[in-house]
Homo-oligomer: A and B are copies of this chain.
């Protein structure tokens, strides 16, 4: 039997036991956003630490932070071999509205080869796969092909407020050759994906003030500036009719897509017709010269997230509004800098400020974009591991969204980040009836095992 056949046999033999144990993990209602679950969070951290210890992982600790604890562990006996830092999170989203769940969120059940429970896919199920993959390697090979470290947090669902400080503080302890994160998804059912980039985020709120109070549009209309008109002028100045952002310098530091990347995206044969149906539009709309995937993965955006001002009730109120505001966020791509972009936005607003109003700009939280180069050996190796198990070419993707903690790892630890996830977008993470397709649990274990061998032999 080959190495992979032996691993395969181990996973098959222990499947029931593994799922039983994962269910134990899923029964702990470790909701990070609700203070009444603080003890459950602690319990989940201890459970995870115990499981690491049971694997002979060393220096396991449950490290307290200003919020929920971080679970650390390491095994560093693969001399001369690379070190993989595993990241994941053991906290989960709230479960409201409870009445929409077909089975209880913290009472895992398997239906149709899908495991239903809060956290099944995001992210306990995937964290647990790391552990079982290592257990299988120890059991069948007596050792690991690489060195490993673990950092599992309990605050991902609330924005990882304390993790950057922890990482900064334990920079040396966390040193590694790459960080492996299983918290993303396949490209589609049966089609695995390596996500090698995520967009960053920055944003501002624009508040416009005209008169000191709302005015009667009959008495004053025509002679005093209207805050909503002024705001509309600013908002309309941000993009042209094709969606191209008009903020001076906005695109200056955008790293162009390589021909290889564009080719890889084209090969995905993205179904725009299906997308239009999904979101309910008759035509898509975006920057000219780029495909939908390029627009949403590799190009920056400027979106108005909200606008408000004046009267919005039923019918008519002939007011000349004194105040209006809008919230704007930009998704950023390498090598845009969130702080620099905010300055460009401010300069643009200042330049386009209409007469007769005061404009205030306040900043939201920022997150840097992240990218491990498409042709990085660790990215390409991950693609090969997926392909060997799923028997189809791996999709190399980027994410249009932002996971600020990924950018923080990238920045603080200066490590290549490899996102190898096994979820599916249809799995209702953050919604009722979260579930995990167990075929991806089964395959994922094999992919991860294969990847550790790949990394063991890789020059990078």
Contact = CB atoms under 8 A, between A and B. Distances in A.
A315 interface: yes
Interface string A233-269: 1011111010100000000000000000000000000
Given A210-B281, A232-B236, A285-B355, A301 B225 contact: no
Contacts of A275: 223
7 contacts: A201-B218, A211-B280, A215-B279, A219-B401, A232-B232, A233-B241, A285-B354
Interface string A143-178: 000000000000000000000000000000000000
Contact of A221 (B284, B303, B311): B303
A252 to B, nearest CB: 18
A393 interface: no
Given A303-B217, A327-B310, A356 B317 contact: no
Nearest to A216: B401
Contact of A284 (B224, B243, B283, B307): B224
Nearest to A204: B316
Contacts of A320: 303, 305
B217 A279 contact: no
Interface string A353-391: 011100000001100000000000000000000000000
A299 B222 CA distance: 7
Interface in A318-365: 318-321, 324-327, 329, 331, 354-356, 364-365
This chain's copy number in the assembly: 2
Nearest to A308: B312
Given A318-B201, A331-B217, A354-B241, A222 B308 contact: no
Nearest to A215: B279
A307 B307 contact: yes
Interface on chain A toward B: helix, strand, loop, or mixed SS? loop
Contact of A356 (B232, B285, B311, B315): B285
B285 A224 contact: yes
A192 interface: no
Nearest to A309: B307
B321 A284 contact: no
A212 interface: yes
By Cβ-Cβ distance, the 7 closest A-B pairs, closest first, are: A218-B401, A212-B280, A236-B236, A306-B310, A285-B356, A225-B285, A232-B235
Nearest to A297: B222
B218 A304 contact: no
A292 interface: yes
A232 B316 contact: no
A308 B305 contact: no
A287 interface: yes
Given A222-B295, A400-B218, A401-B216, A236 B239 contact: no
B307 A310 contact: yes
B354 A211 contact: no
Contact of A326 (B228, B296, B306): B228
Contacts of A326: 228
Contact of A283 (B306, B319, B356): B356
